[in-house]
Structure 1
């Protein structure tokens, strides 16, 4: 018989039972033992007191954990049956929604929900009680919503009460609905989950019945302050629009009072849909609840917060019951803690840097880099940058911080130290020290909150600092969206992305050759004042490039650093060369989607040295001065008095004016380039710059700037190897947009019936077709394809879309456009420069998208209202975040919206007005003002492509109206703008008189102004907008 284990610290009394297991006798001992505290703390380090026979028997039974060996194991067998003792996860700690629900049914992030249409709850009480007694998921359900209870004031609450639940009911009122029977709502709250619940509002009408209950449960995640449950019943004969409007008003007011609450809107909606008025609420029931129809719906303000499962009918009800299980995870579990390094700047750090740079002899660096009267620009620049970084390291401290997703902003390092002190006192068992530590922690938290509130209030002390004002908005509302994170553990991803971004390098067959200098060219030289001015304008919040010089140093030490950087810039321009350290880049891949699936789903954003950005601004100013004012009139990007609104309005006007004629239609081809900026060939660009009369020295400098660039990709803490590229222009440089627009300036339509609208790398071909003759349009597409091939621009046929606009009677088949042998997809709706266009030229899809986006911005506005901000500050936030969404591309589409679509848009304005507590201008008024201002700006710009649409009549008093045969054309921007310009022409006389007077010296350069000068005495003085 095996020896019984003995323990020195125990005095057992036991009863032994002998048994035989697998041929081994084992004593199964049932005893009561007493252990000392020290023994239990050291038992982990003790050698097992069982003999080897007992250990062997327990091991064969699989009751002992195997000791993990540190020696490397060989190849694992194909299949190993894992025993219970081998599990690394403890029992009861399995993952999954149902496992969490079973383990702790009352401590959930969001409550479990039971929804059922019972059709007389009084007759179903026994069934519900039996249901709760026999099924654990129903018994533990936190919230139960029952519709069509058919209760009346004659039935007391005690008659329909369920054990362990709090009842809230809203019976149908016959005087309000005109119906004696039916309807009624009941909400049961589980007392184990929440005992603080109260009815906030109720409504009973012929169109809708709802009841809102506010719950403050025992536990909610830090990001949620309460749970608002709204039970809804919409009768089958109700007016759905009026019903949803009443429900929207109630939910909006409740959201204003509780902006951070979790909202549940559940009930029998019949044919109504809450999405029509609140598109940012998400519906979770995806099963049929009555026959083949889904009538019982559940909406929440958090996406993917529930999973729905059907339950049997409640008694004889014709609706299935629905159980909704929480799938929402708190924010602290959704995101990992962010570990980052920050540079702490002491109060005297900038002053110390200024004194250091002021006393530095910068000529030493130039002399050390001079060999045989030739300056090594690379060594000169690297030594200066290295010295600046060394001085920065001497006066600053780098710290590593960790921040969690739900961490309070007032949680400082001092509060964390007090928290650690309290926990240490608790573990030590020192009662006196623990009491003192608790008091110190409470005092420290109050002081941290006071200091944080004082910091927030300082943002709103003055309206003259908009940056600090918006920082206060972001701190109070978390309005600024978090960037998509690229958390990938694959160490090969940075290198794969780096090779992917440089994939166009192998296709470049044109070698880079500098242009021979011209004797008439003068080398561009920048002055110290210009460099100082551009350094002082640096945004200190911009991220530093590979040189690690922050913008704060360049801005605050602009006077001290302007001399040395002026010398570096002028040396670079005279040598037509750019130091490698200044044209290097660190690429940060930004996901285009929430879940990237391939390398092309990452957008390369290059971090280049800030000092190089300053240098590029000086060069860009010189290049722009060399360009003609009428260059590429249909390029609407990077030009003064041009915007996406002009591009959209011009495209629509060309299309609408053509469709006014008979037997016409239009085809719009929206071209998509694959990494357009990365395919730019420097040699072709330089040749085009030379044709535009740009100095040879600048051309060679740009050629050197774009070739032999060193780049590396950084993903989190992992960095790829450095490679050299000579194709493309990095996205993030100041010159890149201008250089790309100059490369494509000669990409213009060859036929008068076609137009190529360009906005940066977004190109759109508008083909105006008459009498079914598409030959000019198809030739234009072929010529454009050939031009792209010759300029190394890769057309992405899969993302290129075409939309055919044809209002002729009778359906006609249109042959698709083929590019590289592939047919371009034809669509009925497309997003063009941020505005949704449809082939019937209506804007219903665009209106829905705008409302959905604007309603999301109402939540931060409610939080600011709750924080007690003043009306002017709330109005500022509204105009910057909500009104800007409602009015984006406004002039090109609002006039064509239907009346009910304009009402839906104005509903957002009314809601914001109620939140702010002040009247706000309606969109119609803003639309007319914007049209009038835009018309005035186009009239003043003689090089605008639409300037010719505003022509004066011979009388000089009015503008010539645009001929409109259809309502579509009449409601377009230019037709409305001309009409409003006729109404508002009051100040034009004074403006023209002053403007044309300034042109008396040389009116030949502005023939339109000379014509206007001859007619200015005839113009009425009735419109102040043109002054």
Structure 2
């Protein structure tokens, strides 16, 4: 664990930095092992391990407005090492006992934003493919990680059959915590922390997943979670389905009241996914009607009411174009190698985030994405001749077409699901209709029949 520490990792209030631990690991590892064992056996942590040094980092806008700063909490590095050890064992225990809801994709091995988006959009594609429609309610938790009650979290942890020593250590870890703000070489007075998942801690995400794990069991509709990013959705064929979805929304609200969480009503939105123009039913959260929209940016990807990726591709190409323009204005005289690196890290990444999910199925949208790379290749080589072959330029720069890269991304995601995520494999992939004993192999999968081009161009059938 010490070997994997980053040299740049800042120290907490105990002033023990990673550089010191790495340079003395033969001795510090022995000392820390004894200290860790004593901490676990006694269920006690040094006071410095429970203090957060909050450093505000300016994001953008008015520097006098606190809302324009991102708080970075620096905690003890030795405590982070012990957290990592406990975290690994606790995750293995919970995963082996199938504790986590299959609807939760956040901070879990073999789960990601892509698997979350894939599961959600595939369900919607199936609904549209049978000429039906779905209502989706996107929920926004207000400062979700900050609202977690320590006492209620400990109550939930006590129900998990965790050994008493580990539970006592977690109790000590969560109680009597404090933090202070450090800015301009000045420290503020300390303040006690009685709620929120500890910022800067290794186990913070795991504790949050534990806290919200029972949320999916409250609803009868489909639900997808990536940590606190939540959407509940349901196929709507009659008024009864609308009533059921409203009841589920009420249950989520009741769950929030029970566990001291809060939904930001103004940021919760409703989309009706349908191939037809139809009136969207009105849904209420705490007697407040939710806004109905035709597109919603979910986990960085724009979901539209007809499941077209045109809006999202317009967004990513516009975003990538702005970044390319910035590079052109500021690095026109840079060497070729630097221009190429800037394109790969600042432009291409914008064109490829979650692209295995939104990979366009039309030539027009595919060309719109590739055009950004074409312009980038001309800039990198400073060759703007109209007769010059962009294909040759990209070949000389070892830049394959983005469409071929997206195909590789889709195959990698499929491989990850098939071999490393049996939960998603059983949900998303169908067995073959027929297996030939002479020609086929045991890994053959069934290809779903498609009634619409939209579904045919989506991840699973493709």
Other-structure match for 2:156: 688
Using the alignment, how far apart are the partners of 1:581 and 1:751 within structure 2? 42
Counterparts of 1:52-71 in structure 2, within 5 Å, are: none
Alignment pair present for 1:706 and 2:174:
yes
Decide which of 906, 912, 916 is 2:376's aligned counterpart: 912
Counterparts of 1:68-147 in structure 2, within 5 Å, are: none
Decide which of 348, 361, 364 is 1:883's aligned counterpart: 348
Alignment pair present for 1:822 and 2:281:
no
Shift in alpha-carbon separation, 1:923–1:944, aligned structure 2, 3 A: farther
Alignment pair present for 1:643 and 2:112:
yes
Other-structure match for 1:549: 16
Counterparts of 1:721-870 in structure 2, within 5 Å, are: 721-750=189-218, 754-773=221-240, 774-809=242-277, 811-815=278-282, 817-858=283-324, 859-860=326-327, 866-870=333-337
Using the alignment, how far apart are the partners of 2:212 and 2:230 within structure 1? 10
Decide which of 435, 439, 455 is 1:955's aligned counterpart: 435
Aligned pair count reads 436
Decide which of 587, 595, 607 is 2:54's aligned counterpart: 587
What is the CA deviation profile of residues 951-998 of structure 1, one whole-angstrom value per residue up to 9, with x for unaligned ones? 23331634211121111111111221xxxxxxxxxxxxxxxxxxxxxx
The answer to whether the Cα contact below 8 Å between 2:432 and 2:447 also exists between their aligned partners in 1 is: no
Shift in alpha-carbon separation, 1:849–1:974, aligned structure 2, 3 A: same
Decide which of 82, 86, 92 is 1:619's aligned counterpart: 86
Alignment pair present for 1:559 and 2:57:
no
CA shift for structure 1 position 750 = 4.9
Using the alignment, how far apart are the partners of 1:748 and 1:603 within structure 2? 30
Shift in alpha-carbon separation, 1:906–1:784, aligned structure 2, 3 A: same
The answer to whether the Cα contact below 8 Å between 2:272 and 2:280 also exists between their aligned partners in 1 is: no
SS in structure 1 of the partner of residue 265 of structure 2: coil
CA shift for structure 1 position 889 = 0.8
Using the alignment, how far apart are the partners of 1:623 and 1:775 within structure 2? 39
Shift in alpha-carbon separation, 1:642–1:865, aligned structure 2, 3 A: farther
CA shift for structure 1 position 946 = 4.2
Counterparts of 1:564-575 in structure 2, within 5 Å, are: 564-575=31-42
The answer to whether the Cα contact below 8 Å between 2:309 and 2:360 also exists between their aligned partners in 1 is: no
Shift in alpha-carbon separation, 1:864–1:596, aligned structure 2, 3 A: closer
Using the alignment, how far apart are the partners of 2:243 and 2:367 within structure 1? 44
SS in structure 2 of the partner of residue 656 of structure 1: helix
Alignment pair present for 1:633 and 2:102:
yes
What is the CA deviation profile of residues 216-241 of structure 1, one whole-angstrom value per residue up to 9, with x for unaligned ones? xxxxxxxxxxxxxxxxxxxxxxxxxx
Using the alignment, how far apart are the partners of 2:366 and 2:203 within structure 1? 41
CA shift for structure 1 position 738 = 0.9
Using the alignment, how far apart are the partners of 2:296 and 2:408 within structure 1? 28
Decide which of 95, 112, 126 is 1:657's aligned counterpart: 126
CA shift for structure 1 position 576 = 0.8
CA shift for structure 1 position 555 = 1.6
Stretches of structure 1 lacking an aligned partner (at least 5 in a row): 1-533, 977-1027
The answer to whether the Cα contact below 8 Å between 1:749 and 1:780 also exists between their aligned partners in 2 is: no
SS in structure 2 of the partner of residue 642 of structure 1: coil
Using the alignment, how far apart are the partners of 2:232 and 2:59 within structure 1? 25
Using the alignment, how far apart are the partners of 1:780 and 1:592 within structure 2? 37
CA shift for structure 1 position 747 = 1.4
CA shift for structure 1 position 932 = 1.8
The answer to whether the Cα contact below 8 Å between 1:613 and 1:734 also exists between their aligned partners in 2 is: yes
After TM superposition, the structure 1 stretch with the greater mean CA deviation from structure 2, 609-618 or 710-719, is: 710-719
Shift in alpha-carbon separation, 1:861–1:622, aligned structure 2, 3 A: farther
The answer to whether the Cα contact below 8 Å between 1:650 and 1:946 also exists between their aligned partners in 2 is: no
Other-structure match for 2:358: 893
The answer to whether the Cα contact below 8 Å between 1:709 and 1:724 also exists between their aligned partners in 2 is: yes
Using the alignment, how far apart are the partners of 2:285 and 2:167 within structure 1? 34
CA shift for structure 1 position 686 = 2.7
Other-structure match for 1:678: 146
The alignment yields a C-alpha RMSD, in angstroms, of 2.4
CA shift for structure 1 position 935 = 1.4
The answer to whether the Cα contact below 8 Å between 1:608 and 1:733 also exists between their aligned partners in 2 is: yes
Shift in alpha-carbon separation, 1:592–1:804, aligned structure 2, 3 A: farther
CA shift for structure 1 position 890 = 0.3
The answer to whether the Cα contact below 8 Å between 2:137 and 2:268 also exists between their aligned partners in 1 is: yes
Using the alignment, how far apart are the partners of 1:952 and 1:866 within structure 2? 56
SS in structure 1 of the partner of residue 55 of structure 2: strand
Using the alignment, how far apart are the partners of 2:188 and 2:230 within structure 1? 33
The answer to whether the Cα contact below 8 Å between 1:659 and 1:665 also exists between their aligned partners in 2 is: yes
Other-structure match for 1:537: 4
More helix by share: 2
Shift in alpha-carbon separation, 1:885–1:944, aligned structure 2, 3 A: farther
CA shift for structure 1 position 597 = 8.6
Using the alignment, how far apart are the partners of 2:339 and 2:39 within structure 1? 50
Structure of greater Rg: 1
The answer to whether the Cα contact below 8 Å between 2:104 and 2:226 also exists between their aligned partners in 1 is: yes
The answer to whether the Cα contact below 8 Å between 1:604 and 1:731 also exists between their aligned partners in 2 is: no
SS in structure 1 of the partner of residue 270 of structure 2: strand
SS in structure 2 of the partner of residue 763 of structure 1: strand
Shift in alpha-carbon separation, 1:661–1:822, aligned structure 2, 3 A: same
Decide which of 597, 610, 635 is 2:77's aligned counterpart: 610
Shift in alpha-carbon separation, 1:845–1:590, aligned structure 2, 3 A: farther
Shift in alpha-carbon separation, 1:727–1:905, aligned structure 2, 3 A: same
CA shift for structure 1 position 918 = 4.0
Using the alignment, how far apart are the partners of 1:855 and 1:556 within structure 2? 45
Decide which of 447, 452, 460 is 1:966's aligned counterpart: 452
- What TM-score results when the alignment is normalised by the length of structure 1? 0.41
Using the alignment, how far apart are the partners of 1:902 and 1:770 within structure 2? 34
Task: Select the structure with the greater relative contact order (CA < 8 A; seq sep ≥ 6).
Answer: 2
SS in structure 1 of the partner of residue 32 of structure 2: helix
SS in structure 2 of the partner of residue 945 of structure 1: helix
The answer to whether the Cα contact below 8 Å between 1:589 and 1:715 also exists between their aligned partners in 2 is: yes
Shift in alpha-carbon separation, 1:708–1:751, aligned structure 2, 3 A: closer
Other-structure match for 2:387: none
Using the alignment, how far apart are the partners of 1:547 and 1:861 within structure 2? 45
Using the alignment, how far apart are the partners of 1:725 and 1:948 within structure 2? 41
SS in structure 1 of the partner of residue 373 of structure 2: helix
The answer to whether the Cα contact below 8 Å between 2:218 and 2:252 also exists between their aligned partners in 1 is: no
What is the CA deviation profile of residues 917-966 of structure 1, one whole-angstrom value per residue up to 9, with x for unaligned ones? 54221122122222122212211135332444322333163421112111
The answer to whether the Cα contact below 8 Å between 1:677 and 1:728 also exists between their aligned partners in 2 is: yes
Using the alignment, how far apart are the partners of 2:124 and 2:280 within structure 1? 19
